[in-house]
Amino acid sequence: MIGSARAVAGPNIALIKYWGNRGDPALRLAANGSISITLDSLWTEVQVTFDESLRADSLRVNDQAADAARLARTHGFLQTIRRFASLECYASVESRTNFPIGAGIASSAAAFAAMAMAAGHAAGLQLELSELSRLARLGSGSACRSIFGGYVEWIAGASDQTSQAEPLFPPNHWELVDLIVLIDEVHKPVGSTEGHALASTSPLQPARLADASRRLDACRRAIRQRDFAALAQVVELDSNMMHAVMLTSTPPLIYWQPATLSVIDRVVRLRQDGAAVCYTIDAGPTVHCLCAPQDADSVSSALAQLKGVQRVLRASPGEGARLVDGAA
Ligand code: DP6
């Protein structure tokens, strides 16, 4: 055996979204910067073992052999690590999550952040967090943000060397709650990787990009000042703008289910009634409802009652990716 390491990382929820790449899609150079919160109660743990006796890369997810598409994506990522480390041998990868895969929670961010850290360490590379962020980005764009904890910004940059995340504020800067409202899925959504490739077909994408630095500034300022009303305004605008681009792509991408709209409607009314809550939606029907801790119980039970809502998970700002001891 050459080396083995295990790392854990949490998913993140984007407050300002990454949607669309520039240039070679394999490099995942985001068309715009993004800001997210790394989440604490959901995690993915990945063990990577490089071993000369292996005849191929292998991937097990929650104790089951992964499907061909997941294995191919992991193999591609391991090829990058082997190139960096001048390694020739294959690896076995064991991944475990404490949240259901395919339940509408983006799992690739946590998986590739943990995999970058575990594989980099197992391959003997001594990488700074900024280098790990760039490496994780090659596996999944949003994974570059999960390397860091708390409030994180992905600086879009102009090249492979300059497109990386950096921490903005630590987890305890502002203890918001993310209520993750899982919705019954009728259709399997188109994955984000295919979605990013369609962004430039929307006539609305240029307008979304032209306004991105203003939204990033507004979001950074709202977080710095812990100004919930300002945060709600920019977060909902940014999510709506991304979904407007999705809806007007060729072919159109419609990620919302009827219950997604019911949740949006309820969140807006709860806010009018005085609760500090706002919504944001990634590439799926799941709605993330950010709220103040004192409003979390009442908002959660109001949303759980809506038709088409499966269940509501809860998370808060958490730590970035980290190595853990022992075998998986
Ligand atoms: C809507 O990072 O999942 O969640 O790089 O192809 O893996 P790949 O895409 P991914 O895209 C995330 C899209 C999003 C917005 C965001 O998280 O910023």
- Dist. CA 145–CA 165, nearest whole Å: 5
Q: Is 141 in the pocket of ligand 1 (CB under 6 A)?
A: yes
Pocket of ligand 1 contains residue 137 by CB under 6 Å = no
User: 94 and 100 in contact (C-beta within 8 Å)?
Assistant: no
Mutate to test the pocket of ligand 1, among 28, 74, 115, 142 (most ligand atoms within 8 A of CB): 142
> Distance, CA 259 to ligand 1 centroid (Å)?
22
Residue carrying the six token digits 């071993």: 51
What's this model's pTM, rounded to 2 decimal places?
Answer: 0.97
Q: Give residue 75's pLDDT.
A: 97
For residue 266, count other CB atoms closer than 10 A to its CB: 21
Q: Is 233 exposed, middle or buried (0-12, 13-18, 19+ CB in 10 A)?
A: middle
Eight-class DSSP state of 294: G
- As a whole number of angstroms, the distance between CA 294 and CA 177 comes to 9
- Residue intervals in the chain for CATH 3.30.70.890: 177-315
Q: pLDDT tens for the chain, 328 residues: list them.
A: 789 999 999 999 999 999 999 999 999 999 999 999 999 999 999 999 999 999 999 999 999 999 999 999 999 999 999 999 999 999 999 999 998 776 667 789 999 999 999 999 999 999 999 999 999 999 999 999 999 999 999 999 999 999 999 999 999 999 999 999 999 877 777 899 999 999 999 999 999 999 999 999 999 999 999 999 999 999 999 999 999 999 999 999 999 999 999 999 999 999 999 999 999 999 999 999 999 999 999 999 999 999 999 999 999 999 999 999 854 4
Task: Give the per-residue pLDDT at 325.
Answer: 85
Q: State the distance from the centre of ligand 1 to the C-alpha of 29, rounded, in angstroms.
A: 12
CB 259 within 8 Å of CB 183: yes
Measured on CA atoms in the order 108, 114, 117, 123, is the torsion positive or negative?
negative
What the block records as the tokens of 178 is 């993310």
| Shortest-distance atom of ligand 1 to CA 17 | 18
d(CA 260, CA 265): 9
Ligand 1 proximity of 192 Cβ (cutoff 6 Å): yes
Amino acid 188: pLDDT = 72
Structure confidence at residue 328 (pLDDT) = 43
Span(s) in the chain for CATH 3.30.230.10: 3-173
Round to whole Å and give the CA distance between 127 and 160.
16
Q: Which atom of ligand 1 is nearest to the CA of 282?
A: 1
- Under CATH, which architecture does the 3-173 domain have? 2-Layer Sandwich (3.30)
Decide: 145 in ligand 1 pocket, CB within 6 A: no
Residue 141 alpha carbon, nearest atom of ligand 1: 5
CA 33 to chain centre: 14
Q: Residue 123's Cα: distance from chain center in Å?
A: 25
Element (H, E) at 162: none
Fold of 177-315: Alpha-Beta Plaits (3.30.70)
State the CB neighbour count (10 A cutoff) for residue 288.
24
Q: What residue spans of 150-257 are helical by DSSP H?
A: 192-198, 205-210, 212-224, 228-247
Q: Is the CB of 18 under 6 A from ligand 1?
A: yes
- According to DSSP, the residues that pair with 245 across neighbouring strands are none
Distance from residue 142's CA to the centre of ligand 1 (Å): 5
Beta strand segments in 123-170, E = 151-155, 164-169
Distance from the alpha carbon of residue 31 to the mean position of ligand 1, in angstroms: 12
List 154's β-bridge partners, or say none: 34, 165
239 lines ligand 1 (CB under 6 A): no
Return the structure tokens found at 183: 């919705």
Residue for token pair 């080396």? 3
